[in-house]
Amino acid sequence: MSDNILEINDLHASVEGKQILKGLSLTVKHGEVAAIMGPNGAGKSTLANVLAGRPGYTVDSGSVSYLGQNLLELETEERACAGVFLAFQYPVEIPGVNNTYFLRAALNAQRRARGEEELDSMAFLKLVRARLKALHITDDLLHRAVNEGFSGGEKKRNEVFQMAVLEPRLAILDETDSGLDIDALKIVADGVNELRSNERGFVVVTHYQRLLDHIVPDTVHVLMDGRIAKSGSSDLALRLEKEGYAWIQEELAA
């Protein structure tokens, strides 16, 4: 089996007829944390949404192989059941749907799809308590409706908590740091670090370097105008923080 959990090859994708991804290629290995950085409008969120299967995002050409299977053939829920997880940039509020009920429905749907037995509410609660403890977060989120009235920090915490319960193979974090103060950022980053393992790959989409102080990536990729313009180690993120993106543009032009 390949070392790669994710192989994206020459991916072209558009939203409402506008081409956003223009030949993007990227590989992520098992256990790797790959950071995707880039200026606004470069296509970072589009990449995250295309991988998760959001309706309205059209793949025009190229391929995405996830654990050896064609990811683009799968429905949104099939991708989730296969172990792909998107931590949303803007988690949506769903009044009337209890957070615990929702998460149990999600976990059991995934277990069913994998041919595993569903968890009853006792077993589920036990799992939830264990995950909360590992992430050092309190259980007040459990009793509320999904994201309803949550602060920005609570919403992102809820995303990481769901990730911990669902245990994906590939986690895509879409600007998880946006709108967070430093304390909330640390809680979220600690959660992600807790979940790092050789079995799991991460694609961390971020606009700012500061998240990468807390989640130290293995690789950093700069996404500009729909394709990866430069790749490097975590040092690359530091240089981008200092010097911005203009020098990459110049390098490309040279």
Partner 1 sequence: MSLVDSLLSTAPETSAGWWQQSRDAHRAIVDQHGLPDRRQENWKYTALRSLEGHQFQPVEPGLLQPEDLAQLLETHRVPPLAGSRMTFVNGHFAASLSHVDEVVGLRVSALSQLGEAVPSSASAALGAEFSRPDEGFAALNTLLASDGVLLELAGGNEPESQQVAEAPVVELLFVDVPGAAPSAPTIRNVIKIGAGASLALVERYVSAGDGVALINSLSQLELGENCRLSHVRLPQLGEARSLISRLDVRLGEASDYRCYGLDLSGTLVRHDLNVALIGEGAQASLNGVYAPRGQTHIDNHVAVDHQVRDAISSQTFKGVLSGRSRGVFNGKVVVQEGADGTDASQSNANLLLSADAEIDTKPELEIYADDVKCAHGTTVGALSGDQLFYLTARGIPESEARRMLTIGFCREVLEGIPVETVRDHAISLLTDHLQDIDA
Q: Which amino acid is at 187?
A: I
Stretch that binds partner 1, among 13-21, 49-57, 116-124, 131-139 (CB under 8 A): 49-57
The least CB distance from residue 109 to partner 1, in Å, is: 4
**What residues does 232 pair with on adjacent strands?**
220
Residues 69-88 contacting partner 1, CB under 8 A: 75-77, 79-81, 86, 88
Footprint (CB under 8 A) of partner 1, residues 111-170? 113, 145-146, 162, 166
Answer whether 103's CB lies under 8 Å from 160's CB: no
Among 58, 102, 194, 234, binds partner 1 (CB under 8 A): 102
Q: Cα 200 to the chain's mean position, in Å?
A: 12
Q: Please check whether residue 155 is in contact with residue 187, taking contact to mean a CB–CB distance below 8 angstroms.
A: no
Q: What is the DSSP code (8-state) at residue 44?
A: H
**Element of type H or E holding 228:** strand 227-232
Cα 161 from Cα 163, distance rounded (Å)? 5
Q: How far is the CB of 9 from partner 1 (least distance, A)?
A: 23
Query: Of 29-37, 51-59, 207-215, 226-234, which segment contacts partner 1 by CB under 8 A?
Result: 51-59
- 238: three-class secondary structure by DSSP: helix
Tokens of 185: 């950022």
The CB density around residue 82, as the number of other CB atoms within 10 Å, is 18
Q: Which is nearer to partner 1, 17 or 96 (CB)?
A: 96
Contact pick of 92, 182, 246, 254 for partner 1 (by CB under 8 A): 92
103 binds partner 1 (CB under 8 A): yes
| Chain contacts with partner 1 (rule: CB under 8 A) | 52-56, 75-77, 79-81, 86, 88, 91-92, 94-97, 102-103, 105-107, 109-110, 113, 145-146, 162, 166
